[in-house]
Amino acid sequence: MAQFRVPPIPSSEITPESVYLRRRQFMQAAGLLAAPALAGLASDVNARPATGGSPLEFRDAASGPAGFTTDEARTPRQDVTSYCNFYEFGSGKDDPAKYAHEMSVDPWSIAVEGEVARPGKLTMEDVLSRYDLEERVYRLRCVEAWSMVVPWVGFPLAALLKNFEPTSKARYVAFETLYRRDEMRGTRSFTSTIDWPYREGLRLDEAMHPLTLLAVGMYGKTMPNQNGAPIRLVVPWKYGFKSIKSVVRIRLTEKQPATTWQDLNAREYGFYSNVNPDVDHPRWSQKYERRLPSSLLRPNRIPTRLFNGYEDQVAGLYKGMDLKKYF
């Protein structure tokens, strides 16, 4: 009787172990592996996004350039995952933690287009296999005058953009968030004034800056849905709304792109939105911020720093600019 022989598999086709492990981590964090459900761990779906997530493989960036980390106390993970702005799921700070589990994050792809020589798409498998992840501990300052310190896990946006080869016409980078009405109850609200999908943008030199991060996790684990799973932007010297969540499209452009909050109210939300204690929001001061966790009796109020404390790293981007005019 003839024996069945398995044809040899070329070594070039064998998936590296690290890629396989990252894929499994990503799937487990998205709730795609059956084991947790069989074990009865998925009964409380509202609690899962805040407490779930699988460990990620990454390197510590503490020894990297200045600004990649801080000695300031990290905000407890529970505060970061339960106090969010993600209007696709509602306007309340706790709405994202309640409802973001309704958003599916697998499969996921990011389209990169516009002024690039090699337009195309990346899946999350591509992202996790192509880019080395590292942890960056950044301050996060909301335009609403509260702040956090978050250990993100990700990779420089510049690394991704270089792979698609920006053309000589590229001056800006536009970003777009996922928009699925059936999975994002905030987009179905009659009171919403946002023209979905959510859009943001950076100047190309800002996007290419070493501090600008595409994050796939935080606190050593994959990104919770309410914080922008599976991949989000983090620009630490700008107000938090510039760090767009759940990115599905990146487009390089010659002209400054339209952005959601500037379209809604240009008097209050400028394109640059650099953290600046000397430029108040029309409805409140920006000289101080409330560092979470805080309470009525212990507000934890601290002075706000220019560029959120990253002045040494990014001030050169705006040399000669009137920061009050270009706010």
* One-letter amino acid for residue 16 of the chain: P
Mean pLDDT check: name the lowest of 19-23, 132-136, 141-145.
19-23
- Pick from 287, 119, 268, 91: which is nearest to 187 by CA? 91
Q: Are 147 and 289 in contact (CB under 8 A)?
A: yes
pLDDT of residue 61: 79
Q: Are 66 and 313 in contact (CB under 8 A)?
A: yes
Q: Are 88 and 186 in contact (CB under 8 A)?
A: yes
CA atoms within 13 A on the CB side of 193: 5
pLDDT of residue 6: 35
Q: C-alpha angle with apex 270: 269 to 271, nearest 5 degrees?
A: 125
Q: Which domains does the chain have, with CATH numbers?
A: 16-143+152-275+305-318 (3.90.420.10)
Is the pLDDT score of 10 beyond 80?
Answer: no
- Pick from 246, 234, 267: which is nearest to 141 by CA? 234
Residue-wise pLDDT for 263-317, tens only, equals 999 999 999 999 999 999 999 999 999 999 999 899 999 999 999 999 999 999 9
- Give the three-state DSSP class for 166: strand
Is the pLDDT score of 24 beyond 70?
Answer: no
Q: Find the mean pLDDT for residues 176-185.
A: 98
pTM: 0.86
The 3-state secondary structure of 5-64 reads CCCCCCHHHCCCHHHHHHHHHHHHHCCCCCHHHHCCCCCCCCCHHHHCCCECCCEECCCC
Mean per-residue pLDDT over the chain, rounded:
88
- Distance between CA atoms of 231 and 268, rounded to whole angstroms? 27
Is the pLDDT score of 325 beyond 90?
Answer: yes
| Residue 28 structure tokens | 């487990």
Strand 213-218 vs strand 221-222: parallel, antiparallel, or unpaired?
A: antiparallel
Q: C-alpha angle with apex 206: 201 to 210, nearest 5 degrees?
A: 130
- Distance between CA atoms of 228 and 232, rounded to whole angstroms? 5
Task: List 288's β-bridge partners, or say none.
Answer: 303
Total Cβ atoms within 10 A of residue 72:
13
Q: Strand locations in the chain, DSSP E?
A: 59-60, 109-114, 120-123, 134-141, 146-156, 172-177, 199-203, 213-218, 221-222, 232-234, 247-253, 288-291, 301-303
- Pick from 204, 205, 112, 126: which is nearest to 164 by CA? 112
Q: Find the mean pLDDT for residues 205-214.
A: 98
Fill in the DSSP letter of residue 261: H
| Residue 30 structure tokens | 């998205």
